């Protein structure tokens, strides 16, 4: 059984376009799993991990109506067959497994993705991961693409939690990997460069994305971030879904 995020009493599965990274603009079917092993302060899917009783700090703590989430109320359990019934009728072959952190549930994912590929080998499986967990060989065989978002210190996550050398080395060596770094200020670039050097990450696979959950906050950073991408031959990625729909779920 897979633990999915719940939206309007239904599993958060939605047909949209990929808003970030290498496949930005590509029609995609998102499957959002619950649970995460990190606790980024600016995370826009904090309903997958910021549970009642935890001490994690989040930017939304300053909002008057914000409170931590009930784990029992925001997780739906689905069997492989139930999930297949929801996914296969939709006319989309680019599947994005996101979270949370989907590799927390990679043992359960193996079974579902094997059945999905058996149903139609044309499915392209794209993982969005924080790069802290090394995929199992059986799962890696089913994956077509990794969007690896190694967290920087701006996430407020401790280095020992957000940096797993064995996992990063795996992704850096995989031809399936692209690396997306969430940049808040120009000072973050030194961290990005250090990680690229340390793990021999190909700059051609690097995407820099401004940290922001509104059009205004993204625009404040896009000009100088594009210039940095030009300097180091990195790719720039925006958050296209924010520009189209705003900071909304299920789109």
Cα angle 77, 141, 138 (rounded to 5 degrees) comes to: 60
The sheet carrying 2-7 orders its strands as 10-11, 2-7, 75-78
The pLDDT of residue 120 is 97
Instruction: Determine the length of the chain.
Output: 251
The sheet carrying 177-183 orders its strands as 13-17, 27-32, 94-98, 124-129, 145-148, 177-183, 206-210, 235-236
Q: How far apart are CA 150 and CA 112, in angstroms?
A: 26
Beta bridge partners of 96: 30, 126
Over residues 210-220, the mean pLDDT reads 86
Q: How confident is the model at residue 209 (pLDDT cuts 50, 70, 90)?
A: confident
Over residues 231-236, the mean pLDDT reads 96
The pLDDT of residue 244 is 85
The pLDDT of residue 184 is 92
- pLDDT tens string 158-196: 999 999 999 999 999 999 999 999 999 989 999 999 999
In this prediction the pTM is 0.95
Residue 148: pLDDT above 90?
yes
Q: How many CA atoms lie within 13 A of 246 on its CB side?
A: 1
Residue 222: pLDDT above 90?
no
Beta bridge partners of 181: 208
- pLDDT tens string 109-134: 999 999 999 999 999 999 999 999 99
Residue 223: pLDDT above 90?
no
CB neighbours (10 Å) of residue 19?
23
The pLDDT of residue 130 is 98
Q: How confident is the model at residue 249 (pLDDT cuts 50, 70, 90)?
A: confident
φ, ψ of residue 2 in degrees (nearest 5): -100, 140
Name the CA dihedral angle for 144, 201, 17, 251, rounded to a multiple of 10 degrees: 110
Structure tokens belonging to residue 148 = 């690896």
User: Which alpha helices (H) appear in 76-105, and where do they start and end?
Assistant: 80-87
Q: How confident is the model at residue 14 (pLDDT cuts 50, 70, 90)?
A: very high
The pLDDT of residue 225 is 94
Residue 212: pLDDT above 90?
no
CB neighbours (10 Å) of residue 70?
12
Average pLDDT across the chain, whole number = 96
- Contacting residues for 127 by C-beta, under 8 A, at least 6 apart: 96, 97, 98, 102, 103, 135, 143, 145, 146, 147
- pLDDT tens string 46-97: 999 999 999 999 999 999 999 999 999 999 999 999 999 999 999 999 999 9
Structure tokens belonging to residue 42 = 């600016």
Quote the DSSP letter at residue 53: T
In contact, 237 and 207? CB cutoff 8 Å: yes
């Amino acid at each position: 059984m897979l633990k999915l995020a719940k939206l309007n009493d239904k599993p958060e599965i939605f047909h949209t376009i990929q808003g970030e990274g290498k496949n930005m603009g590509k029609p995609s079917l998102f499957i959002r799993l619950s649970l995460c092993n990190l606790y980024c302060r600016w995370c826009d899917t904090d309903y997958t991990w910021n549970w009642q009783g935890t001490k994690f700090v989040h930017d939304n703590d300053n909002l008057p109506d914000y409170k931590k989430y009930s784990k029992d109320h925001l997780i739906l359990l689905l069997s492989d067959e139930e999930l297949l019934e929801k996914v296969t009728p939709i006319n989309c072959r680019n599947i994005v497994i996101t979270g949370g952190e989907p590799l927390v549930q990679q043992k359960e994912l193996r079974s579902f993705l094997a059945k999905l590929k058996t149903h139609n080998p044309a499915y392209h499986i794209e993982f969005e991961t924080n790069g802290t967990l090394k995929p199992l060989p059986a799962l890696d065989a089913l994956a077509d693409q990794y969007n690896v978002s190694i967290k920087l210190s701006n996430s407020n996550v401790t280095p020992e939690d957000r940096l797993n050398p064995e996992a990063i080395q795996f992704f850096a060596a995989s031809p399936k990997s692209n690396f997306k770094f969430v940049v808040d200020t120009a000072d973050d670039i030194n961290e990005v460069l250090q990680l690229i050097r340390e793990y021999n990450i190909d700059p051609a696979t690097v995407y820099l994305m401004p940290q922001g959950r509104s059009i205004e906050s993204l625009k404040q950073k896009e000009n100088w971030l594009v210039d940095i991408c030009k300097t180091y031959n990195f790719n720039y990625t925006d958050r296209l879904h924010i520009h189209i729909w705003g900071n909304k779920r299920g789109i």
